Structure 1
């Protein structure tokens, strides 16, 4: 099996840049730049920003940032998948995960949504057999803060530094996933990283 569509989740608009909920956009933007992918192009019919790159000796891979808000992420993914005839098994979705520490990554297939509204919308529109690329943003602090305020909040300077230091790992994991497929890549990716990450409950 080879992947043909990689999706980064987030909210469109400059006011949401550098927020925790937009880490999927951030990683996908960096990946596209490193791969020399085509310039992003808004496709209003497919409701997304699209780019494409071609790995060596392989078929093209589409990159997608939905232009819908997070809670309707599945709309664009369904449209793009249908238009290019890409089955869910050939889709990677990257998104923020509060149950992982900042700097951590985990890959899984055919599991639940974990209460993530973007994921919930996706599985309501396509089969849940796509690959999940979960990027840790850490537990909310203080505990009294609402989840919405936390995920829509911007990273602290310290967190931004850690994300920058972790970006190489994010990209390496994504590249490995594309080359090796989920079953093989998960063995490597789902090990705890050696890089120290922020402990939950600390800023």
Structure 2
């Protein structure tokens, strides 16, 4: 069993912000894998969809807690389904990467990402996979990071983001296909 978690913030006003890129990738994965039965699960504080892809059971999750508390949901889901950290993939925005760039890594620090740090703190390990989605524009960021990540993408950036989302979903699906349970 694999757990794929998209990080984001739950309110509608955050739907298209930079910080909700993880949720958007999980939504794309839902469409591509056919795992579409999302339900609000109060015991996990998350939207959860369970299905099968590439011969293995997959859980897609979007925590309903704010970004900085995402670890509570991830821990609750992993405990309930007895999922080890090595079978967890967290998809999130990454200000340290240029817009459109994607890195898949594991066993690394949070690099200041508070949602990821919350997961590390709750799981007591960083031994889970991370799909890091670049959100940094080409020009230097003048404003505060906290403000920048809660802004929506420009129309020009959104075109790049849509491709980034599709590519990230394809990479996760390829990893699931080549790494059966």
> What range is the shorter-chain TM-score in?
over 0.9
Q: CA RMSD in A?
A: 1.5
Aligned 8 A contact 1:9 1:65 in 2: yes
Q: Deviations 1:1-55 (Å, cap 9, x if unpaired)?
A: xx61000000001010100000000111011012111321000111100012201
Aligned residue runs from structure 1 range 121-200, under 5 A: 121-126=118-123, 127-139=125-137, 143-181=141-179
Secondary structure (helix, strand or coil) at the match of 1:178 reads helix
Secondary structure (helix, strand or coil) at the match of 2:97 reads coil
Bigger drift between 142-151 and 159-168 goes to 159-168
| Structure with the larger strand share | 2
Give the drift of 1:84: 0.3
Q: Unaligned 5+ residue runs, structure 1? A: 182-203
Aligned residue runs from structure 1 range 55-134, under 5 A: 55-56=53-54, 58-126=55-123, 127-134=125-132
TM-score w.r.t. structure 2 length?
0.93
Q: Which has the larger Rg? A: 1
Whole-angstrom CA distance in 1 between matches of 2:141 and 2:102: 23
Q: Unaligned 5+ residue runs, structure 2? A: none
Whole-angstrom CA distance in 2 between matches of 1:42 and 1:51: 9
TM-score w.r.t. structure 1 length?
0.83
